[in-house]
Amino acid sequence: MRRAWAVLLLCCWQGRAAHAQLSGSVTLVSEHVYRGASLSDGAPAPQFNLTYDGAAGWYVGAFASRYRLQGDRRSGTQYIAYAGHAQRLSSGLTLDTGVSRYGYTPGASLNYTEVYASLAVDQFNARLSYSPDYLGLNASSAYTELNGSYALGGDVSLYLHAGCLSYLSGLPQYASRHTLDGRVGVGTAWAGWRWQAAWAKAQARGNAYSSWYGGRAPNSSGTLVLSASRPF
């Protein structure tokens, strides 16, 4: 599967090189919190993101982050490879559809694929992701999320996120049918870096992310996440 994704990335790169726009970032976060669960066992994590925008709205990219599950002395890499297409509709909305492959090294048993679709207007978007085998649990899932940003003045912006993971079939043991998570953050640009402080919180009871990722259980009062990102 990794080889197939590598071929897809290479083909998209070579086929549209003449119209390429390449962008990315390197980031250091105080804790890698994903959908409400800590995937770095409360420790800092370096991250890398690279996106290639081709012609006619096609794009492909990859994200990588250090991860460590609770009680496991080994550190590894979480990677997300994605490809999709974005287009502006006559209504003024932007429709974005694509597919993402989530992988863990070590921890291949957690690997899964999601297809997604989103609608965006200005700085706000709604997105729905579907996986036929979430986290390799033989359970289909849907993740619904709302994301937005609002300029507060100068280079300071407010960032908002709300998400809900729902199992559509095959409810795993110890997991709730629906799990909510949210994040509120403030960010600014200074000296060529993006700086952000965010408060992330998820349901502690029946939290599927923590149970099945092996991630640290969410703090009942939430988690403060600090990050510094250098775009290029």
What tens digit of pLDDT does each residue of 75-97 get? 799 999 999 999 999 999 999 99
Integer Cα distance of 2 and 79 in angstroms: 10
Q: Is the dihedral of CA 11, 12, 15, 20 positive or negative?
A: negative
36 near 202, Cβ under 8 Å?
A: yes
Integer Cα distance of 80 and 2 in angstroms: 11
pTM recorded for the entire structure: 0.85
CA distances from 38 to 8, 20, 163, 181, 217 (A): 30, 35, 16, 12, 7
DSSP 110: G
pLDDT of residue 11: 45
pLDDT of residue 203: 79
Instruction: Please list the rounded mean pLDDT of every run of 10 residues in the chain (232 residues).
Output: 44 49 97 88 94 95 89 81 97 97 89 97 97 91 97 96 93 82 97 97 65 55 94 96
Q: For residue range 180-218, list pLDDT tens digits in order.
A: 999 999 999 999 999 999 999 987 655 555 555 555 555
CA dihedral 4, 7, 12, 13 (to 10 degrees): 140
pLDDT of residue 6: 45
pLDDT of residue 8: 43
Integer Cα distance of 81 and 46 in angstroms: 17
Integer Cα distance of 50 and 1 in angstroms: 20
